């Protein structure tokens, strides 16, 4: 299966590409597997989001939305089944203080992914969302204390899950939101955040 990766941080994109390549997929266009996301910084509460921050957030999820749309339209036009994987931060599933822009953009794209899953399933296109936890090499090491596994997520682990969702055996997985976060999202009930505010 040919794949494309768009909108991810360099580290996450490399991990996704490695995981997909190890599963036998190859980069190329037109893609039968599109992995789409965005790269927004954390560290701002919603009341502190400036106009420039908001414009950056809108531009990020707008670009991701149109990347999803282009990938799906290409698959429909070619009459091929395929996969679209929407990568969002874990904050989209369970918001944290100081992660307003990432949580808002991720929530928007999660909804886009689920709507697309409903609309495209009859065409053989499966759309799923992967909620990515704090990444090794990107999040501060102290964040690992908030992760039940005691460590940050490795980018290649996200790539391996993308490969799993692209496999023929995952044909019945559609519209799912799968967390790859070491349990981070389910343990944040106290409402605090290890991220700087």
- CATH at 81: 3.40.50.720
Going by C-alpha positions, the residue among 81, 65, 175, 169 that lies closest to residue 122 is 81
Q: What is the pLDDT of residue 98?
A: 85
Q: What is the pLDDT of residue 149?
A: 92
Does residue 137 sit within a domain?
yes
Q: For the chain, what is the domain count?
A: 1
- Domain containing 50 equals 2-187
d(CA 138, CA 119): 34
Does residue 84 sit within a domain?
yes
Does residue 103 sit within a domain?
yes
Q: What is the pLDDT of residue 96?
A: 81
Q: What is the pLDDT of residue 72?
A: 97
d(CA 168, CA 117): 16
Does residue 192 sit within a domain?
no
Q: What is the pLDDT of residue 82?
A: 97
Does residue 37 sit within a domain?
yes
Q: What is the pLDDT of residue 193?
A: 56
Does residue 196 sit within a domain?
no
Query: Beta-carbon neighbour count of residue 71 at 10 Å?
Result: 26
Average confidence (pLDDT) per 10 residues, the chain, 197 residues: 97 98 97 95 86 93 97 96 96 87 94 98 98 93 89 97 97 97 76 52
Does residue 195 sit within a domain?
no
Provide the whole-model pTM: 0.93
Q: What proportions of the chain, in percent to the nearest 5, are helix, strand and coil?
A: 50, 20, 35
Encoding tokens for residue 89?
Answer: 């931060």
Encoding tokens for residue 102?
Answer: 């990432």
Does residue 193 sit within a domain?
no
Q: What is the pLDDT of residue 79?
A: 95
């Amino acid at each position: 299966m040919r794949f494309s990766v768009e909108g991810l941080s360099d580290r996450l994109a490399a991990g996704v590409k490695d995981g997909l390549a190890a599963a036998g997929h190859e980069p190329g266009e037109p893609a039968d597997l599109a992995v789409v996301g965005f790269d927004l910084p954390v560290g701002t509460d919603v009341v502190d989001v400036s106009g420039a921050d908001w414009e950056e957030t809108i531009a990020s999820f707008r670009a991701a939305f149109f990347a999803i749309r282009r990938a799906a339209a290409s698959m429909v036009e070619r009459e091929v089944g395929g996969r679209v994987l929407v990568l969002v931060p874990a904050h989209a599933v369970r918001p944290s203080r100081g992660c307003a822009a990432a949580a808002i953009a991720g929530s928007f794209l999660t909804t886009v992914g689920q709507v697309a899953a409903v609309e495209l399933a009859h065409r053989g296109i499966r759309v799923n969302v992967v909620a990515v936890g704090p990444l090794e090499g990107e999040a501060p090491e102290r964040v690992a204390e908030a992760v039940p596994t005691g460590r940050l997520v490795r980018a290649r682990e996200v790539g391996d899950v993308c490969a799993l969702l692209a496999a023929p055996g995952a044909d019945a997985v559609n519209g799912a939101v799968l967390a790859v976060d070491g349990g981070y999202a389910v343990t944040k009930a106290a409402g605090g955040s290890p991220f700087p505010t």
